[in-house]
Structure 1
Amino acid sequence: MTDAPAPADTKAATKAGGRDYRGTVFLPKTPFPMRGDLPKREPATLARWKAQDLRGQLRERSRGLQKFVLHDGPPYANGPLHIGHALNKILKDVINRAAQMSGRDADYVPGWDCHGLPIEWKVEEQYRAKKQDKDSVPILEFREECRQYARHWLGIQSEEFQRLGVLGDWENRYATMDFTSEAVIAEEIGRFLMNGSLYRGLRPVMWSPVEKTALADAEIEYHDVTSATLHAAFPVVKTDTPDLQGARVLIWTTTPWTIPANRAVAYGEEIDYALIHVDGIAEGSLLATGDDLIVALPLLPAFAKEAGLAAHSLRRVIKGSEFAGTILAHPLRGWGPGEGAYDHDVPMLAGDFVTAEAGTGFVHIAPSHGEDDFALGRAHGLPVPEMVGDDGTYTVQAPGFTGIHVFKAHEPVWAALETMGTLAAKGSLKHSYPHSWRSKKPVIYRATPQWFIAMDDDNQIRAKALKAIAETHFVPDQGRNRIGSMVAARPDWCISRQRAWGVPIAVFVDKRTGEPLRDPTVMQRILAAFREEGADAWYKPGAAARFLGNERNPDEYEQVMDIVDVWFESGSTHAFCLPDHNLPFPADLYLEGSDQHRGWFHSSLLEAIGTRDMAPFKAILTHGFVLDESGRKMSKSLGNVTAPQEVMKDYGADILRLWVMNSDFADDLRIGKTILGQQAELYRRIRNTLRWLLGSLDGFTDAEKVDHAELPELERFILHRVAEIDTRIRRAAADYDWSGVVPEIHNFCASDLSAFLFDIRKDSLYCDRADDPRRRAARTVLDVLHRCLCTWLAPVLVFTAEEAWLARFGEAAESVHLQTFPEIPAEWQNEALAARWARVRAVRGLVTAALEKARAAGTIGSSLQAAPELFLGEAYADLADLPWAELCITSDLTLTASAPQGEGVEAGEHAAARFVPAPGQKCDRCWRVLPEVGRSAAHPTLCLRCEAAVG
């Protein structure tokens, strides 16, 4: 692959016979420099666009066009941009610009997520650093500090996004903390309140003891930890099966702290269980000889090894269904410090989630601390004790353990069980465990009163969401199954959080009935206040009396002080962003990272289905995550972070944009110094292509243009390639699948243009007469190439495309970003011609290979010193009429009737070529070696063509 020829590589004419012919050669001439110098040029371009009001011009001329809406998933306003932000926003910008250049009205409204724990956590850190108690700060003062923190980072991120070249309505961005946004979010909660889907219930949720709040699934990440384990024995106290009387059922758990909350033991109805008699134990075992134990038959060997069971006899195999009606004793029954709190009966219940893959084949059920546990307990009317407080310590409902943190409870629980003789084994296990992604601390399942949105009530949110997923266009398509499986399996949506910075769940609860107040008049009062004062109105003195009005007594109602989950907030953004900016609902496209199948895509879908019975999007595109060059996750401690700010300072935003669009962004992407260097080299090739086009089009006017039918085959073949790429780009703009598009454009520049068309046509462009039909034909196609490449590249290389456009048409010309993709005539598409020229290039390759052998041997230095022989077999006979010397860049070429023989022959299946030196002398102007050089009396050192050109 060769680069586009630069002036330094051109055929500089020499002085001969007292005549200097350099001034007669049409050397490329352009103000477009070879060096991009993007870090310096790009800010000036941004300033010019702002001064010109480029976005305003686009909006004005887009009036009446079909709208295209890419609704922005809001980034979090709590720090400088990272490389993942850059990937996301660049991809959005490319797709949005391509839609605009395809003839749509594609306005882009950027947005920010400003509420929630990440910002609250940062503000609290400032208090902790000063040894101050955050809880002593008045809530309105604290909320204002959170608002100022978010506003600060929103401003910085906005500037950094714009530096990336992202075009959007930055002055009218949306933010979840805007008063109007907070009002709409409260209104959306009210919609669920009024339609009956919002309810308060007690059930287990992911709870962060450090942050003292419930968490959403999207706020959870998993890390390996080593957990304490235990095997506990539950004595059988009542059974209809005589064999079981006096036996003990064994459970295994990695959360010993949940044992005090046990209310049942679950079994699998189809599992085979072994009733064994302990005949011998190993030293140190906690088992007792003579005991009768029950464990799943397939898991007996593993249990025996872990518990130190040295010898046993099998009394019989029991099918799980035989346990129906059996009652067990809690393993802490009768424990003195427990004050009788653990003396209740423990029923055995069938559970379809029980397997014989690990443990003992029995699952101890703590309805307060697990989803399956809660569901099974609710089905059988089991109590849901609140034994763990919001800080992760046992409450007074867990006597004997009160005040102990659950993550330090295994030793006390082991000790209590051992005292009662019900500890069968203890150990540890390294496994993956859920953590809060903010504090990086482990979380627990904890039953607390929370506000939920029902998935399967009369509104049928789950069923409608699954139908909407089936009707959505996914890029890539596997995203459909991912989000579909999540929606199908998810529990009711817990939307309440126990924090201060956010939109409150603006609901009143009747203290007498426990029912939420569903009064449209009260809701309208709340919304009117939020629109004027923001959600702070909920926290002001006298808020309850203000909103309930004279017709109700505030003392009879509980004012809910929980805030709504930030995922509900971001899921509601369509409700205020789209109508506020006169954009249609649903949006054409939502675009985020693949983790948002359980995050923003998910919450947006459920929110819109619950309030509008339809998805807020027509299509979803997901991209991967950014890793370092070795495929590792980026980390400051590893020193492998690539910051977009540094990339722009060293390379420029266009290099970063090229990296995004050159990558397969459906998978994880890699970046680092080596990869950026490679992108810079690819950029240089594209830039040199544009530079050579500009130089060779110097002085071009429409008067030079040649009709398509009169173009040589080479030019018509290139226009066919133009049509192919145009089709590819329009398809990408329509279905959002840009994988491989930019690499195809680069390959076109490098292979079809620089190493083929430009290489062949530079002789004509430099040396033919200005009015020569061949030169005019070439420049006609170069004009097309410049216009197409600039507009094709405009969504990606926003700065470079603009520079290349104005370098030709002048600084006063319209921006390239005000153009649409050129309309390509149908006649340019010619598959037969493409097939023919694939064969031409194969034959040309044989000639080039033969010349390279001569060059390697030192026989020639330039291909113009050759006049090779070329044999075309019957399969290639139709190619005989082509100008082969011109195509192979030789001074002459002879077609032979038979394949050439001897050294240096390059042979293919249907053709062969051999080097032959060109006879004659070298022309001082075009450097071709021809016998005719020297025949002219006026110009003895020129060939006849050059003589005619200089006059």
Structure 2
Amino acid sequence: MGHAVNKILKDITIRHKILQGSRVHYIPGWDCHGLPIELKAVSAAENLCPPEIRIKARKFAKDAVSVQKKAFKSWGITADWENGCYFTYNADYIKTQLRLFSTMYEKGYIYRDLKPVYWSPSSRTALAEAELEYDDNYISTSATVKMRLTSIPTALMNVIANTNEAQRIAGTEIGSYEVYALIWTTTPWTLPSNCAICFSPKLEYAFAKSLGRADNCLYIISKDVCEEFGHKIGQQFEILSTFSGELLSGAKYSPLFSQEEGKDSLPFLPGSHVTGEKGTGLVHTAPAHGPDDFVVALSNRLPLNCYVDEDGCFTSEMKHLQLEGLPVLSKETSLKVMSLLGENLIHSAPFTHSYPCDWRTKQPVILRASQQWFVDTGKLKDRALEQLSKVVIVSERGRDVKSSAMAGMLQQRPYWCISRQRAWGVPLPVLYHKHDSSPVTSRELVNHLCSCIDKHGPDFWWTLPLSDLISGDISSNYSINDLEKGLDIMDIWFDSGISWSAVLDMHGSAQVADLYLEGIDQFRGWFQSSLMTSCAIQGISPYKKLYVHGFAVDQEGRKMSKSLGNVVDPEEITCGGQDLQKQPAYGVDALRWWVASHSGTHNNMPVSSELLEASAKSVHKLRLVLRFLLGCLYGSEEADAVHADSCDGQLLDKYLLHLLGNFDSKVCMQYETFQYNRVCSTVINFITNEVSALYCHLIKDRLYCFPIESKERKSCIRTISGILDVVSRAIAPILPHLIEEVYLHHPVPKGDAGFFRWASRNSSSLSNEWSYPEVVKIVELALQVRYSINQKAASFGDGNTWKLGARIRANEEAFQMLNVLQLNEESCESELAEILQVSHVCLQNKVLKDDADLSKDPTMRAQLYLTSNNYQEIEVSSHLPVSVAIFSLQGSFFRCERCRKYTATEDGELCQRCSAVIDSQCNKL
């Protein structure tokens, strides 16, 4: 469903642009590398070498692409599916990627370093932030630990002395305090790597005493959290004195575990990441296991000791603590570490919180220091943020919110790790010195490797010996015996992040797309990686606009997953499930309508049988109206064009064309601003109300009963043709299958190229010419009269207004307006009668007539209404003085069997108009 949402939204955008006459350059592609595919490929096999893994992974990827491509085609997605797709495992794509890596390395944007990164023990590889998902109910073991101060600065000693003096004066117990710092952590396994305690110079700290412990300990804790923290661990602290965090500078404490020789005390260090919002206000620091800790270590030249291996287990360096080989994420290991703390452990308890997990294996990850390759985001941030400020971000919540959110992510991103320890991907084009692991790479090496791809295929790095990989400049400066191949591949976000370079061909100019369209999660993924790489290479953003859509969720708002059993296959929507009674086939257009109608209303897009059925009903409703319009045009030569002056004075037709022009402009604006959900509601409202319920209903007498060659009917036909054309263009981007079917059944030949080719070549619209504001005033006044008549029609029997006559009396202004619809005082065939749907209309000017005059008027064929018991006077709800009298025509006139209006003078006979039409047709025959 995620694919369906994304691909259909892209296709709607593309089809709209095609109909506007644009040439669209769209190349669909697949990110084919990465851990998920590799895991799928090797799930049934063990101990495979890298070339074997790559063969299996490539086959799996190709099979998946084939299945997905078939689905995309079935959804009507416009693309050159046979020759116009890109795949990140293709040789040309890989060569482009290698060259861009080399360029960024030469510019200083890529470097190698030892840093803590997210590490997945379950996948044995580093992960980027975008490859994480968070378990909000993860349970860790929290530990509150005291660390004894061994060196206390003079200023801090003075605070302690004053505290002692205060106790003496108060007459309470006096003793020589031992001073401890309190820290709180949810990762006790990192305590063996502790090498500092960080504090904030801006916080106020306290010397506190635990009232529940019989010791002579003075605890340092943030004043603001002292009481709350005491409740958390079940102890009550009494604050004896307070001091500024600055006084902790220079203090030292005793290590928790045995350290290297000479390291008998560790420092207190200031840290900008320390806050007084949680914990104790003092932060245990292990540089190998946290980005903030790492920054502090760099600034203070602390050692970066990592005692955890790729499997997430303690290394042999922890043998002396009997921790070697223990998995750090297990509860038992945390208990083991805490048992080694002895009396330094104040409190421990389970702690439920949000914790990062590997997005594929769903297992928890750790932060672990290792040698990795990074993009220096610090060098790129200013440029990226400046370019991002120029990008239009399209979403329901608005541009500013999303722009600032993505800008915030960029600001906070310390670095981007682009190396992975797997086999299925693009190799990092780097060799290493055996003796010190220093990297060796060059532009010439990369060019040589690209030629190796041409000769030996994309698996060259793993299949060729080192001697075949080394370029001339490398061999002339290094001995082959001193070098070895690197085994890392590039992050898949780097793969996809350079797609702008591999896909957009701008003939040497900047490669910039008009639009990137993806899910909201790509603010921290593809949108960022694309922006970073493009700013590094081109100095500009690779996109002008971003369209952001939400996720498909079930009717309860839950994300779809196999474990929950709530996954919906789009094929079940289009073709039906095994039980068609429970899972009917709604068709592709219903799927596309569901995507469009829910695309902008929420971040998440709910999928339910009720919503899908509603989408299918909407499509069916549109189909019925379009079929009716097509039927009206059958056999007509007037259906090929609608011009501004082609309505021959038929005001109802001009009124509808005016509405049609407004509709066309509104829908076009909604498409241009990606408000596809509003397009759906606008289309349904217009088709249901203005077209079907109003116009199609009012014109039936003219359509079926007027002579074929009459100007009134021709005007109607040309208006219907205009409706069909404009509505088809409005619906086509969302429902292309339905509109192609309409095109195939259109009575006027338009060629065999298909609707979109024909429409794109005839993209100019006449809707801008359809502006009749004066007509709108006249017709809407008549519609108000009609509404008033309909309100009272039920009192005359079955509510059939054709059984009624109407006398309308209006002041001068209203009379002049309605007089345009009916030139004669009385008429059975006027436009006013057509709009009111009554069989007889008498239109009078209040200023010129009164009831006495009317009763004596010998020309009034319907004057009997004055004495009729069925006479009713109605005041029309209007700003203009208009009153209406309606009366039954039954008994005075008879139903015409052809037009069904009450205009016949003899029972069983046709009315005068219908008789003339029949006679005319008979004479022609």
Residues 597-606 or 705-714, more deviating: 705-714
1:391 is aligned with what amino acid? D
Q: Alpha-carbon deviations, 1:171-226, whole Å to 9, x = none?
A: 12110011111221122211112222211111111111110111111111111211
Question: Cα distance 1:372–1:902, how it changes in 2: closer, same or farther (>3 A)?
Answer: farther
- Cα offset for 1:903? 6.8
Residue 203 of structure 2 corresponds to residue 271 of structure 1: yes
Query: Which of 833, 842, 858 pairs up with 1:885?
Result: 833
Q: Relative contact order (C-alpha < 8 Å, sep 6+): which is higher?
A: 1
Say if 1:91 and 1:661, in contact at 8 Å, map to a contact too. yes
- Cα offset for 1:861? 5.1
Say if 1:277 and 1:315, in contact at 8 Å, map to a contact too. yes
Query: Which of 93, 111, 115 pairs up with 2:11?
Result: 93
Say if 2:778 and 2:818, in contact at 8 Å, map to a contact too. no
Say if 2:183 and 2:283, in contact at 8 Å, map to a contact too. yes
Q: Counterpart of 1:813?
A: 752
Residue 29 of structure 2 corresponds to residue 116 of structure 1: no
Say if 1:205 and 1:214, in contact at 8 Å, map to a contact too. yes
Say if 1:567 and 1:600, in contact at 8 Å, map to a contact too. yes
Residue 203 of structure 2 corresponds to residue 203 of structure 1: no
SS in 2 for 1:505: coil
Say if 1:705 and 1:777, in contact at 8 Å, map to a contact too. no
TM alignment of 1:773-784, pairs within 5 A:
773-784=711-722
Q: Alpha-carbon deviations, 1:538-593, whole Å to 9, x = none?
A: 11241355323442422223422100000000111122122399998211111001
- Cα offset for 1:675? 0.8
TM alignment of 1:585-600, pairs within 5 A:
585-600=511-526
Equivalent-residue separation in structure 1 for 2:625 and 2:238 (angstroms): 84
Q: Counterpart of 2:99?
A: 187
Query: Which of 35, 54, 74 pairs up with 1:163?
Result: 74
Say if 1:176 and 1:569, in contact at 8 Å, map to a contact too. yes
2:795 is aligned with what amino acid? A
Query: Which of 665, 673, 691 pairs up with 2:609?
Result: 673
Say if 2:255 and 2:264, in contact at 8 Å, map to a contact too. yes
SS in 2 for 1:462: helix
- Cα offset for 1:638? 4.4
Q: Alpha-carbon deviations, 1:462-519, whole Å to 9, x = none?
A: 1111111111121121332222111121112110001111001111234567653343
- Cα offset for 1:157? 0.4
- Cα offset for 1:416? 0.9
SS in 1 for 2:840: coil
Q: Counterpart of 2:302?
A: 382
- Cα offset for 1:931? 5.3
TM alignment of 1:57-136, pairs within 5 A:
83-127=1-45, 133=46, 136=47
- Cα offset for 1:879? 3.6
Q: Counterpart of 1:442?
A: 364
1:824 is aligned with what amino acid? L
- Cα offset for 1:139? 1.3
Q: Counterpart of 2:581?
A: none
1:606 is aligned with what amino acid? M
Say if 1:227 and 1:430, in contact at 8 Å, map to a contact too. yes
- Cα offset for 1:426? 0.9
Query: Which of 766, 770, 780 pairs up with 1:824?
Result: 766
Say if 1:182 and 1:531, in contact at 8 Å, map to a contact too. no
Taking every aligned residue pair, what percent have the same amino acid on both sides?
30
Equivalent-residue separation in structure 1 for 2:782 and 2:365 (angstroms): 67
Say if 1:247 and 1:291, in contact at 8 Å, map to a contact too. yes
Q: Counterpart of 2:48?
A: 137
Query: Which of 419, 430, 436 pairs up with 1:496?
Result: 419
Q: Alpha-carbon deviations, 1:784-804, whole Å to 9, x = none?
A: 122222233222111110111
Q: Counterpart of 1:684?
A: 620
Equivalent-residue separation in structure 2 for 1:873 and 1:392 (angstroms): 90
TM alignment of 1:542-941, pairs within 5 A:
542-549=465-472, 550-551=475-476, 552-579=478-505, 585-649=511-575, 650-665=585-600, 667=602, 668-702=604-638, 708-709=644-645, 710-808=648-746, 809=748, 813-818=752-757, 819-820=759-760, 821-824=763-766, 826-834=768-776, 837-851=779-793, 853-854=794-795, 859-860=797-798, 862-870=800-808, 872=810, 876-881=814-819, 882=821, 883-895=831-843, 897=846, 905=874, 908-910=877-879, 911=882, 913=884, 915-918=886-889, 919-930=892-903, 932-933=905-906, 941=909
Residue 300 of structure 2 corresponds to residue 327 of structure 1: no
Once superposed, which parts of structure 1, at least 4 consecutive aligned residues long, lie more than 6 Å away? Answer: 580-584, 703-706, 898-904
Say if 2:670 and 2:678, in contact at 8 Å, map to a contact too. no
Question: Cα distance 1:912–1:112, how it changes in 2: closer, same or farther (>3 A)?
Answer: farther
Q: Counterpart of 1:538?
A: 461
SS in 1 for 2:659: helix
Equivalent-residue separation in structure 2 for 1:902 and 1:291 (angstroms): 102
Q: Counterpart of 2:857?
A: none
Equivalent-residue separation in structure 1 for 2:815 and 2:289 (angstroms): 81
- Cα offset for 1:635? 3.7
- Cα offset for 1:385? 0.5
Equivalent-residue separation in structure 2 for 1:433 and 1:893 (angstroms): 77
Q: Counterpart of 1:528?
A: 451
TM alignment of 1:192-591, pairs within 5 A:
192-223=104-135, 224-240=137-153, 241-242=156-157, 243=159, 246-278=178-210, 280-281=211-212, 287-310=213-236, 313-332=238-257, 338=258, 344-398=264-318, 399-400=320-321, 401-408=323-330, 409-418=333-342, 421-456=343-378, 460-476=379-395, 477=399, 478-510=401-433, 515-549=438-472, 550-551=475-476, 552-579=478-505, 585-591=511-517
- Cα offset for 1:831? 4.4
Residues 514-523 or 561-570, more deviating: 514-523
Unpaired runs of 5+ residues, structure 2, are 161-176, 576-584, 822-830, 852-865, 920-925
Q: Counterpart of 2:578?
A: none
Question: Cα distance 1:729–1:304, how it changes in 2: closer, same or farther (>3 A)?
Answer: closer
Q: Counterpart of 1:56?
A: none
Equivalent-residue separation in structure 1 for 2:252 and 2:414 (angstroms): 29
Question: Cα distance 1:480–1:740, how it changes in 2: closer, same or farther (>3 A)?
Answer: same
Query: Which of 894, 898, 910 pairs up with 1:942?
Result: 910
TM-score (norm 1): 0.84
Say if 1:567 and 1:603, in contact at 8 Å, map to a contact too. yes
Equivalent-residue separation in structure 1 for 2:619 and 2:407 (angstroms): 40
Equivalent-residue separation in structure 2 for 1:575 and 1:513 (angstroms): 35
TM-score (norm 2): 0.86
Equivalent residue pairs, number: 836
Q: Alpha-carbon deviations, 1:255-281, whole Å to 9, x = none?
A: 111111111111121212110233x32
Question: Cα distance 1:212–1:763, how it changes in 2: closer, same or farther (>3 A)?
Answer: same
Equivalent-residue separation in structure 1 for 2:598 and 2:672 (angstroms): 19
Equivalent-residue separation in structure 2 for 1:489 and 1:843 (angstroms): 65
Q: Counterpart of 2:582?
A: none
Question: Cα distance 1:747–1:801, how it changes in 2: closer, same or farther (>3 A)?
Answer: same
Say if 1:207 and 1:213, in contact at 8 Å, map to a contact too. yes
Question: Cα distance 1:834–1:121, how it changes in 2: closer, same or farther (>3 A)?
Answer: farther
SS in 2 for 1:758: helix
Question: Cα distance 1:566–1:707, how it changes in 2: closer, same or farther (>3 A)?
Answer: closer
Q: Alpha-carbon deviations, 1:293-322, whole Å to 9, x = none?
A: 111112122232344435x54331111111
Equivalent-residue separation in structure 1 for 2:206 and 2:508 (angstroms): 69
Unpaired runs of 5+ residues, structure 1, are 1-82, 128-132, 282-286, 333-337, 935-939
1:387 is aligned with what amino acid? Y
Say if 1:436 and 1:443, in contact at 8 Å, map to a contact too. yes
2:888 is aligned with what amino acid? P
